[in-house]
Amino acid sequence: MKRYFPILSWAPSYGRATFEADLVAAVIVTIMLIPQSLAYALLAGLPAEVGLYASIAPLVVYTVFGTSRALAVGPVAVASLMTAAAVGEIAAKGTPEYLGAAIALAFLSGLMLLAMGVMRLGFIASFLSHPVISGFISASGILIAASQIKHLLGVSASGKTLPEILGSLWHNIGGINPFTLIIGIAATAFLFWSRKGLKPVLQNLGLSARLAGLLVRAAPVVAVFLTIAVTWLFGLEGRGVHVVGEVPRGLPVPALPPLDLGLWASLALPALLISIVGYVETISVAQTLAAKRRQRIDPDQELVALGGANLAASFSGGFPVTGGFARSVVNFDAGAETPAAGAFTAIGMALATLLLTPALYYLPQATLAATIITAVLSLVDLRAIGHTWAYSKGDAAAMVATIVVTLVSGVETGISAGVGLSILLHLWRSSRPHYAVLGQVPGTEHFRNIRRHRGIEVPEVLSIRVDESLWFPNARFLEDTIYGHVAADPAIRHVVLNCPAINFIDASALEALEAVNAQLKDSGVKLHLSEVKGPVMDHLVRSDLITHLGGQVYLTHFDALSALAPARTRETLELPRCETAR
Amino acid sequence: MKRYFPILSWAPSYGRATFEADLVAAVIVTIMLIPQSLAYALLAGLPAEVGLYASIAPLVVYTVFGTSRALAVGPVAVASLMTAAAVGEIAAKGTPEYLGAAIALAFLSGLMLLAMGVMRLGFIASFLSHPVISGFISASGILIAASQIKHLLGVSASGKTLPEILGSLWHNIGGINPFTLIIGIAATAFLFWSRKGLKPVLQNLGLSARLAGLLVRAAPVVAVFLTIAVTWLFGLEGRGVHVVGEVPRGLPVPALPPLDLGLWASLALPALLISIVGYVETISVAQTLAAKRRQRIDPDQELVALGGANLAASFSGGFPVTGGFARSVVNFDAGAETPAAGAFTAIGMALATLLLTPALYYLPQATLAATIITAVLSLVDLRAIGHTWAYSKGDAAAMVATIVVTLVSGVETGISAGVGLSILLHLWRSSRPHYAVLGQVPGTEHFRNIRRHRGIEVPEVLSIRVDESLWFPNARFLEDTIYGHVAADPAIRHVVLNCPAINFIDASALEALEAVNAQLKDSGVKLHLSEVKGPVMDHLVRSDLITHLGGQVYLTHFDALSALAPARTRETLELPRCETAR
């Protein structure tokens, strides 16, 4: 029961001290979440209240099903951008169909995550390599920031790719609204300054470093209140400053997502991509925070919890949610000890929805854009390209390709290309494993790579060690390699495959070995195996390979050579040892 | 030059004996290829002459660029079925658009293969595991055989999936033509019988086993001549027996494929799938035959040769070609010694196109259907499911899924699902590598898996050996595993990762290690490495991991334990050795 309802593992022992810690964290996260939830709804092209709705029910569901003590779920930047991209294909912004499609997207994403969780497919996150996900998030950050510039300038612009967005901005640059521009620049400057400059100021006022650090997170709310006040006082709405406008007061009414199979079919792929990206983000932050306190999370249960949160978002009129990085870190730093902090945040957001919505009428969209821009630019990490390049050129190339494709073709193509590239790179590496031709080290029973050590070979015996499990990506490589050596040296009568590094042989590699064995037999060469691991041998005896093997299976490679070339092997054993590299 | 024009490696020393051997092989392959080329054109939904055209120019190009001495390229069953499926989506059978699309498909497939060859992407074949390709070919065989039943019965039927085809046949079963049925059944029975029964009869007539074996391959031509004669003599065309009809006499006129970007875009995916399947088939048979004579093929050059052959097919009005399995084996058995045999076969096919086409008028389509059915049913190998299941349930499941999807959803979905499943299974396996917690074997400096051997652990040190390279599919597993052990045992102060089985660490796994190192540091635990391989260490020193490592890098695992828990390690060393498994 505790496995499926992790709440049961902490709720029974819930005490006053934990309650207080969770409550403090919840208050701080709520203050941070109010402007963010509005801003990300705007980014997704949805009415502001949808962001509030997506920050209530999903948090309660995560409290029940989540295994991370500190994860804060809700609307996040990248998922909001992906929502806008997916839903924008199907309906026009501002229409009921657009909202319906966003709700259906949360529903599908929830179903998929839940299904993957029940089938324990947490490994699905391994479809994305770190460099690719990092490149994708950087590129998304740039795209998001670019898409918000129009709100800072008060012009209209559109586009799903960087060239489109910049072109559209350039085209409409003439329509800049000076009041919007002033609010936008001021809010952005204040928010950027607050990230570094506000904390020392607060500390100088006598606040503790920790409290000052947490109060910095309230800077967006300060910006929100100040700009609401200015807009209202000076009547800027009448001067062309776009405001959030009427936000319906009251909690969301539970409802079903649109039941339209055609709509679901066209949203299936975006839903899958949002699910995977959201899950990777969630699991990364959850794991990082859990490790800091030597706690455990269950990756498969996290799929269930995130799936449930998205279904809850959908049923309460929200859009796709995931675990947010910055928000979870704030929750953790503010001292959240259990997922109850999430439930308290939900209460805070519900109160905000009930009480604060009238005040939001005069909130300038430029302020929300400033909030988004400051939040997402911290996601952009282009220096990672250099680090990755220094370590692995292949990984760095995949990263750059993901960034470029995302910027010029949009998020869906970008992340799809990233998944494809990750897998391609992995298959390419798997397809050419390290292998060594072995020679006997004089004076010993050891065999080493003759290219790295002085080793003595026996002309009629080819000794090969493959340093990798054998499976379909390298099955052909194995055949190629063995046939290549045998074709190049007509003296060879025996091939001994040294297997200490082989942990697994799949059906493709088994067939390749059977083919090698049969072909070598035809041309008068025997295939032998040495040092096969126990579990691999357990598997092999169930196949025809061992029955039809031209040669033998030897316990050690020395045994093999002693049997196949006894005179030469013994002679080498008696040579003086000399391990200088060639 | 020899690498790009392999003809240069054998043509200069071409002599009379080789010429005679190649000529004999070419005559036999030509006799086999005439009915096959007509039949596969029919299967692809194309006019009969297109099959002949696809058997001339491509063979000449392969002679120049191919590295296999025995491969026979031309129209094959599975590629023809895939062509029908792809082109059927775009145009109606019998229209010029249909033919144009088939030609464009050969062109695109040729371009893709050529590009992959130039970029040396031969590893692309590793996208398909053996069980998946075997399942796909079996299912294609069943689909092809089912699609030909209508020709045996003389009814009309259509469909791209098994349920569609069978349903359509059932619906039209009333229209059976008795003359067609007799020809169809007789031809099928004769061809099935000839595979096993003809050889002993010929041997009883005094022929050598080899000659008898080769003459068996002429059985389809015998069936063709007999049924042409019967149809002509009894005027069966007038009694509802469908015949091949007018076949244009003369060689194909060189022409360009349709230049239509929209058409190309819609054919791109099918062209890629045909290219990969065709290449896998080609390379498998080429490698098998080369190994029998200790010859070498170059997988990347084979991509170039196959790409050139498909471009040649396209420019001469043909459809996609690949290396045929049965045909290449016949070529090999008949004694072909160089690719010149292919050029001679092309001459034979050109002569057939010039001289035999009038005779083909009365050839019943039922005979061609019988040829196809007997050829493809030998591709169906459902017993492979059982063999694979006994060895690996995961591989067998992928195979069955590929078969089922191909049968019920058609070839394109089938092969796509197969590619997806191969990769999924590989990633799933990669994502959970074998790992062992190590203990010191008493009385030795060795460390072994404590679940398999008696080993002594030190409470404050966790020794873990991962038996796999570290890369993105298992990066999270690594984090999970280490955090899990550390969270479960508060006594742990040191984690030593024993790395002798790690051949590679990609950027994702490096980041995971850096994260593990940082998180462990935060919770007061040091991460150490031991027995890191040379090439891996060369890589790691270029990263931040070694600089920031909480612990040390030790040459041997014993060194690590001697440094971290000197008293206990020495004590264990002095214990009497006792290697009974726990």
Q: Is beta strand B435-440 parallel, antiparallel or unpaired with respect to B461-466? A: antiparallel
A437: which strand partners?
Answer: A464
User: Looking at the structure, do residues B290 and B313 belong to the same domain, yes or no?
Assistant: yes
- The arithmetic mean of pLDDT across residues B402-430, rounded, is 88
Query: Which token pair is A370?
Result: 């400033």
What number is the ipTM of this complex? 0.78
3-state secondary structure of B463: strand
How much is the pLDDT for B582? 38
User: Looking at the structure, do residues A413 and A444 belong to the same domain, yes or no?
Assistant: no
User: Looking at the structure, do residues A241 and A308 belong to the same domain, yes or no?
Assistant: yes
| B40/A213: higher pLDDT | B40
Q: Which chain B residues are closer than 8 Å to A508 by Cβ?
A: 129-131, 395
User: How much of chain A, in percent, has pLDDT values that exceed 70?
Assistant: 99
Beta-strand ranges (E) seen in A7-102 are: 73-74
Query: Which token pair is A1?
Result: 């029961």
User: Looking at the structure, do residues B420 and B546 belong to the same domain, yes or no?
Assistant: no
Q: Is the model's pLDDT at B326 over the cut of 80? A: yes
Asked whether residue B273 is domain-assigned, the answer is: yes
How much is the pLDDT for A476? 83
How many C-beta atoms surround the C-beta of residue B385 within 10 A?
18
How much is the pLDDT for A577? 63
| B523/B409: higher pLDDT | B409
User: Looking at the structure, do residues B444 and B317 belong to the same domain, yes or no?
Assistant: no
Q: Is the model's pLDDT at A99 over the cut of 50? A: yes
Give the domain-ending residue among A425, A452, A480.
A425
Q: Is the model's pLDDT at A127 over the cut of 80? A: no
Q: How confident is the model at residue B195 (pLDDT cuts 50, 70, 90)?
A: confident
CA–CA dist B444, B456 (Å, integer): 11
Instruction: Report the residue from A487, A511, A543 with minimal CB separation from B294.
Output: A487
Asked whether residue B204 is domain-assigned, the answer is: no
User: Looking at the structure, do residues B126 and B270 belong to the same domain, yes or no?
Assistant: yes
Q: Which of B481, B534, B485 shows the shortest CA–CA distance to B509? A: B481
User: Looking at the structure, do residues B419 and B468 belong to the same domain, yes or no?
Assistant: no
Asked whether residue A16 is domain-assigned, the answer is: yes
Question: Phi and psi (nearest 5°) for A210?
Answer: -70, -45
How much is the pLDDT for B319? 96
- The arithmetic mean of pLDDT across residues B312-335, rounded, is 91
Q: Which chain B residues are closer than 8 Å to A420 by Cβ?
A: none
| A100/B249: higher pLDDT | A100
Q: What is the CATH number of the domain that holds A510?
A: 3.30.750.24
Asked whether residue A556 is domain-assigned, the answer is: yes
| B162/A421: higher pLDDT | B162
CB contact under 8 A, A422 and B501: no
Q: Is the model's pLDDT at A125 over the cut of 80? A: no
How much is the pLDDT for B581? 37
- The arithmetic mean of pLDDT across residues A311-334, rounded, is 91
CB contact under 8 A, A432 and B123: yes
Domain count, chain A: 2
User: Looking at the structure, do residues A397 and A451 belong to the same domain, yes or no?
Assistant: no
Asked whether residue B349 is domain-assigned, the answer is: yes
Query: Which token pair is A490?
Result: 């007509």
Angle at A217 between CA A345 and CA A276, to 5 degrees: 65
How much is the pLDDT for A581? 38
CA–CA dist A492, A5 (Å, integer): 63
**Could you give the C-alpha distances from A219 to A31, A192, A202, in angstroms and in order?**
9, 10, 12
Q: Which chain B residues are closer than 8 Å to A433 by Cβ?
A: 503
User: Looking at the structure, do residues A371 and A456 belong to the same domain, yes or no?
Assistant: no
How much is the pLDDT for A582? 38
User: Looking at the structure, do residues B414 and B486 belong to the same domain, yes or no?
Assistant: no
Query: Which token pair is B241?
Result: 């027996």
Asked whether residue B238 is domain-assigned, the answer is: no
Query: Which token pair is A123?
Result: 């490994």
Angle at A300 between CA A294 and CA A302, to 5 degrees: 70
Instruction: Report the residue from A473, A504, A507 with minimal CB separation from B388.
Output: A507
- The arithmetic mean of pLDDT across residues A315-332, rounded, is 91
- The arithmetic mean of pLDDT across residues A165-187, rounded, is 93
Q: Which of B519, B482, B402 shows the shortest CA–CA distance to B142? A: B402
Q: How confident is the model at residue A445 (pLDDT cuts 50, 70, 90)?
A: confident
**Which of B128, B129, B514 to mutate to test binding with chain A, by most A CBs within 10 Å of its CB?**
B129
Helices within B44-177 (DSSP H only): 48-53, 57-65, 77-88, 96-118, 130-153, 162-171
User: How much of chain A, in percent, has pLDDT values that exceed 90?
Assistant: 48
Asked whether residue B235 is domain-assigned, the answer is: no
- The arithmetic mean of pLDDT across residues A333-341, rounded, is 89
* DSSP3 helix / strand / coil % (chain A, rounded to 5): 65, 5, 30
Span B51-78, pLDDT tens digits: 999 999 999 999 999 999 899 999 999 9
Tokens 């059906």 belong to which residue?
Answer: A507
Query: Which token pair is A521?
Result: 């037999």
Give the domain-ending residue among B406, B425, B444.
B425
Span B471-530, pLDDT tens digits: 888 888 888 899 889 988 989 999 999 998 888 898 889 988 998 998 898 888 999 999
User: How much of chain B, in percent, has pLDDT values that exceed 90?
Assistant: 48
User: Looking at the structure, do residues A516 and A411 belong to the same domain, yes or no?
Assistant: no
| Count of residues making up chain A | 582
Q: Look over chain B and give the mean of its residue pLDDT values, rounded to a whole number.
A: 89
Q: Look over chain A and give the mean of its residue pLDDT values, rounded to a whole number.
A: 89
Span A348-374, pLDDT tens digits: 999 999 998 888 899 999 999 998 898
Minimal CA separation from B363 to chain A, in Å: 40
Span A220-260, pLDDT tens digits: 889 999 999 999 999 998 898 999 888 888 888 888 888 88
3-state secondary structure of A46: coil
Size of interface A-B (CB pairs under 8 A): 207
Minimal CA separation from A264 to chain B, in Å: 20
CA–CA dist A350, A49 (Å, integer): 11
How much is the pLDDT for B130? 85
How much is the pLDDT for B178? 93
Q: How confident is the model at residue B95 (pLDDT cuts 50, 70, 90)?
A: very high
Asked whether residue B118 is domain-assigned, the answer is: yes
- The arithmetic mean of pLDDT across residues A209-214, rounded, is 83
Using CA atoms of B56, B57, B58, B62 in order, give the dihedral in degrees to the nearest 10. Answer: 110
- The arithmetic mean of pLDDT across residues A21-34, rounded, is 90
Q: Which of B346, B351, B352 shows the shortest CA–CA distance to B22? A: B346
CA–CA dist B293, B286 (Å, integer): 11
CA–CA dist B294, A490 (Å, integer): 9
Is residue B57 a contact partner of residue B234, using CB atoms and an 8 Å limit?
A: no
Write b or e for each residue in A346-356: b if 16 or more Cβ atoms lie within 10 A of its Cβ, otherwise e.
bebbbebbeee
Query: Which token pair is A240?
Result: 């062309």
Domain holding B80, by residue range, is: 14-154+252-363+379-425
**Which of B508, B533, B542, B543 to mutate to test binding with chain A, by most A CBs within 10 Å of its CB?**
B508
Q: How far apart are the first and last CA of chain A?
A: 62
Q: Is the model's pLDDT at A396 over the cut of 70? A: yes
How much is the pLDDT for B121? 81
Q: Is the model's pLDDT at A215 over the cut of 90? A: no
Instruction: Report the residue from B291, B519, B544 with minimal CB separation from A292.
Output: B519
Give the domain-ending residue among A396, A425, A454.
A425
Q: Is the model's pLDDT at A580 over the cut of 80? A: no
Beta-strand ranges (E) seen in A403-483 are: 435-440, 447-449, 461-466
CA–CA dist A504, B397 (Å, integer): 18
A527: which strand partners?
Answer: A495
How much is the pLDDT for B76? 93
- The arithmetic mean of pLDDT across residues B208-216, rounded, is 84
Q: Is the model's pLDDT at A204 over the cut of 60? A: yes
Q: Is beta strand B322-323 parallel, antiparallel or unpaired with respect to B73-74? A: antiparallel
CB contact under 8 A, A429 and B506: yes
Q: Is the model's pLDDT at A289 over the cut of 90? A: no
User: Looking at the structure, do residues B261 and B384 belong to the same domain, yes or no?
Assistant: yes
Question: B448: Cβ–Cβ under 8 A, 6 or more apart, which residues?
Answer: B436, B438, B439, B441, B455
